[in-house]
Structure 1
């Protein structure tokens, strides 16, 4: 027997579903009217939106505020690990002809292009699985103050389909609409993507050559200095003024030499007056990097210094360079993806529901870690670091 309150809730839910559908249908009708002005044919719009239902989970993802801030040493440990380095070296060799051709045309270091590929989609293995048309249509209708931005990306997606560049069935990606091997937004694709394999289509989903060349083109158009490097790790003098640090506070190399900055091995900085900034991603007690204009170009791909550093350092490792020399200022280092999978496997063996051990640390893993920390009498942080892994190994 259904209780009156439960019956009321059920009736309300049943009534709200058609209302939401009507609202979405009405929004699509408005978008259809605008699509012609954006250069989209009615036939393409109708074919792609016929029977389309909203995916409200993308609204939750847009509104969700991350509660767990990832320390830089965790971020770097998971993105620049032995697996990604080895895979990157294989990709650098496998696609050498394509990458070298792109370098001749755009002047961009092949290892940096491969590093972007590795960080963005793990070399094409993880590019997202949400249909772009559905996600972006939903965000266009229910995206609040950002609806206008997503509307332009929605129209850009339909233009890609109309041009015949990418198979519509393969236009899947992140909740926000980034797609392909190197995760372009649709509007970026329209501006930047190139046809490198000569088939008459620009396809960064099913064509690795197109994706790699398009990424090189993006970096070139963002100001990449051909033949230049992104930067390198440095050693700071004992009384270095941390107020001078900052990616945007660039000074001539001669000024940094005068301030006592050296290469991390103690050797002198290069000569010249090229401008560079000091990056301190973990503060003055952690590693320091001298960064040039090309670091800013990598930063433009996704405006986060930790992201740019991961790509920059991964590119060095792919070329055969060594790890960061200065230790991160922590007694609990970050875990590689292999170590994260081991951690999740150990948690699962103890009865915790962490899903399939995949190295991705989500809410289930953090909840399980917190319970282990509680049992150990530790502060409950939920962080998957080396200490908790060692403790589980011992158990």
Structure 2
């Protein structure tokens, strides 16, 4: 019996040793940034004064963070060993405009959107009358964010927001969103409802917690606000957001136009906004051949060319800018605008996309940095291709005698790197 116990003990010891070795190997095989930082709990405790000031109880606070660890696999984190600039993140910034604005996908969503319009016509008309926000835009947002209700974000909003506030590249912004999410818990919203994208956006139309606290609306008149299950509540919430950001009742989001020579993509961007009548005097015209109305000629708009010289051009009006405030991407706003037109009965863009490649994010980042060194105003060095980046590339190309296409490429980067700093 004693011998048996000794043998069993030895076997258990050997098994334990192998288990420890295996566990150690597993830990060491993980990248360093996959292990929670030891000061995460200190970070959480640093949130308490702000949470308390926002009306969050200690019980709610402690329950929210019980056993919580950061998710270091999500994008937009500032971690040792992770590249500062990479292509991880939103499709709005990692796909070409032609890929993002996929014709088959837009056609599919357009057909589904017309069906959705009929099913929810009464609620949509009521919300449009109340807020002034075009119901076709609301349906387009619904389609883009949820594929008409078939997409349900899988992540825990508190964990996502805590991670981004702890070690994200935009810590302060997400700290504010995290406190707002704690307020939502304090209001009685179940944690199980608060499923989100990796960036913490929640609900059927994907909105941040601060937006929920500011604009959430009872759209179906049942005395409750449920942006997770009630279509009318979610649509009314989205309409209130757009209304609050400056939606202009009765106006279009924008117009596809033909750019006349010698004008080009270097005119792009909000700083060059002017009345549409001025664009017409410069030779710009609607791509579909229709004239602008008298009211439209008075509206201010700026040139927007998301593919530089390789695709359609648009005059982006007030409501385009409002959609862009809802989601800060030219491509997103253009997707919503075109999808709303398709749901209304319109079709594809008139000007076709040419063949062009999406540059690496690091190429865009380095070109932005180099152009700034050369004296071209860059508001952000972030590796993302926005209107100002395209504009400054175009101005540099024009000044350097290069072909003006307003598109970041290795060719333009090498040329800029060869120039002496001003």
> Normalization by structure 2: what TM-score?
0.69
1:337 alignment partner in structure 2: none
2:111 alignment partner in structure 1: 86
* Cα distance in structure 2, aligned partners of 1:11 and 1:75: 39
1:62 alignment partner in structure 2: 77
* Cα distance in structure 2, aligned partners of 1:261 and 1:147: 43
Count of residues in correspondence between the two structures: 326
1:205 alignment partner in structure 2: 228
Q: CA deviation at 1:169?
A: 0.5
Q: Residue 39 of structure 1 contacts residue 159 of structure 1 at CA under 8 Å; is this kept in 2?
A: yes
Aligned ranges 1:309-348 → 2 under 5 Å: 309-330=334-355
Which of 137, 140, 148 in structure 2 is aligned with 1:123?
Answer: 148
Which of 100, 108, 113 in structure 1 is aligned with 2:125?
Answer: 100
Aligned ranges 1:293-308 → 2 under 5 Å: 293-308=318-333
From the superposition, tell whether residues 33 and 288 of structure 1 become closer, same or farther in structure 2 (CA, over 3 Å).
closer
User: The residue matched to 1:232 in structure 2 has which SS?
Assistant: strand
1:364 alignment partner in structure 2: none
From the superposition, tell whether residues 134 and 31 of structure 1 become closer, same or farther in structure 2 (CA, over 3 Å).
same
Q: Residue 120 of structure 1 contacts residue 127 of structure 1 at CA under 8 Å; is this kept in 2?
A: no
Question: Which runs of 5 or more residues in structure 1 are unaligned?
Answer: 333-395
* Cα distance in structure 1, aligned partners of 2:161 and 2:173: 10
User: The residue matched to 1:160 in structure 2 has which SS?
Assistant: helix
Q: CA deviation at 1:152?
A: 2.0
Q: CA deviation at 1:83?
A: 1.9
From the superposition, tell whether residues 149 and 320 of structure 1 become closer, same or farther in structure 2 (CA, over 3 Å).
same
* Cα distance in structure 2, aligned partners of 1:39 and 1:322: 49
Which of 245, 249, 267 in structure 2 is aligned with 1:222?
Answer: 245
Q: Residue 131 of structure 2 contacts residue 240 of structure 2 at CA under 8 Å; is this kept in 1?
A: yes
User: The residue matched to 2:170 in structure 1 has which SS?
Assistant: helix
1:71 alignment partner in structure 2: 96
The structure that has the greater radius of gyration is: 2
From the superposition, tell whether residues 80 and 246 of structure 1 become closer, same or farther in structure 2 (CA, over 3 Å).
farther
Q: Residue 311 of structure 2 contacts residue 354 of structure 2 at CA under 8 Å; is this kept in 1?
A: yes
2:280 alignment partner in structure 1: 257
1:178 alignment partner in structure 2: 201
From the superposition, tell whether residues 201 and 143 of structure 1 become closer, same or farther in structure 2 (CA, over 3 Å).
farther
User: The residue matched to 1:159 in structure 2 has which SS?
Assistant: helix
* Runs ≥4 residues deviating over 4 A: 6-14, 19-22
Q: CA deviation at 1:331?
A: 8.3
RMSD of aligned alpha carbons = 3.1
Residue deviations 1:34-63, cap 9 Å, x none? 4212210112223333333333323x5535
Question: Which runs of 5 or more residues in structure 2 are unaligned?
Answer: 1-13, 358-422
2:48 alignment partner in structure 1: 32
> Normalization by structure 1: what TM-score?
0.74
